[in-house]
A and B are shown apart, each in its own frame.
Chain A
Amino acid sequence: MELIINGDKVEVPNKITTVSSLLQHFGINQKVVIVELNQSILEKGSHQETTISDRDKIEIVNFVGGG
């Protein structure tokens, strides 16, 4: 399956069906990350039940140092 993650085309295994399994795939499920799926921001608690499919546009952001 092909996703657009943070503006780049990324190929991920088809067994990835939810946002939380996607985060797990990248090893970032334990981190503070915020996910936007096709321009709709996901609440933290909804990662498990939110499904993803081919060509979805996903933004994965986090907090970085800033003033």
Chain B
Amino acid sequence: MLKIGPYEFSSRLLLGTGKYPNFDVQKEAVEVSQTEILTFSVRRMNIFEPSQPNFLENIDVQKYKLLPNTAGAKTAEEAVRTAKLARASGLCDMIKVEVIGCQKTLLPDPVETLKASEELIKEGFIVLPYTSDDVLLAKRLEELGCHAIMPGASPIGSGQGIINPLNLSFIIEQSNVPVIVDAGIGTPSDATVAMELGADGVLLNTAVSGAEDPVKMAKGMKLAIEAGRLGYEAGRIPKKRYATASSPMEGMSIS
């Protein structure tokens, strides 16, 4: 079970809802993934086109926990406002703190992320900050009272996979709250590696929505995350320099 704040989930996949080819494919991908947490963004509505479809209307919101993000925020103040707007919907109290510090790399601003997280914890949110893979920053966020830590594997939407497994493993080792690897995942094997490192979950979006067949990729990611978790729980064999025979030497008929 994945426990975030007061909530428990049997799926360890958190799925983003951006950039799918259409709502039908998205709906099927979400279902196949068996995710229980969906991320969203908060944006100004086009009030002159009220008939514009919205994915939220296509899903059973009771079935999923909504994890709105503060994407678009460049300062702690903007992130806090977005979080409060999201909560005023009456649909959610979890928030993915995302304060981007650089438009080219979309890497998070550590100082503003820390400030926003602190404020939102005071405001009673369930706070999941998207952070760089800095080990000490992760520690500081946990000390503030964040309910999960979400280090990036590599830049958002880059599909580069896990660039610094060592840092991720340090973060996982030190954390007493769930660590969810967020951003940069490209393939199912990336997700498996994250889970084998001991991550409690994986948050991804583009890897599924941008795949040639998002539905198939959603299934691949689900299985990959389960496989990685099982591998982690089972405990891998140590690596050895030389071979060790799997078949016994005793009782061989030819000598």
Contacts and interface: CB of A to CB of B under 8 A. Distances in A.
Contact of A62 (B45, B84, B183): B45
Interface string A36-57: 1000011111000000000000
A66 B47 contact: no
A27 to B, nearest CB: 4
Contacts of B43: 61-64
A63 B88 contact: no
A63 B41 contact: yes
Contacts of B55: 64-65
A6 B16 CA distance: 25
Contacts, number: 105
B44 A60 contact: yes
Contacts of A34: 42, 85-86, 88-89
Interface stretch (B17-25, B113-121, B225-233): B17-25
Interface in B59-118: 66, 68-69, 71, 81, 84-86, 88-91
A49 B19 CA distance: 37
B18 A66 contact: yes
Nearest to B20: A65
A26 B55 CA distance: 20
Nearest to A59: B44
18 contacts: A6-B45, A34-B85, A34-B89, A36-B85, A41-B88, A44-B88, A44-B90, A62-B54, A63-B66, A63-B89, A64-B40, A64-B41, A65-B19, A65-B20, A65-B40, A65-B41, A67-B156, A67-B157
Interface of A: 5-7, 10, 26-28, 31-36, 41-45, 59-67
Interface of B: 16-20, 26, 39-45, 47-48, 50-51, 54-57, 66, 68-69, 71, 81, 84-86, 88-91, 156-157, 183, 203-206
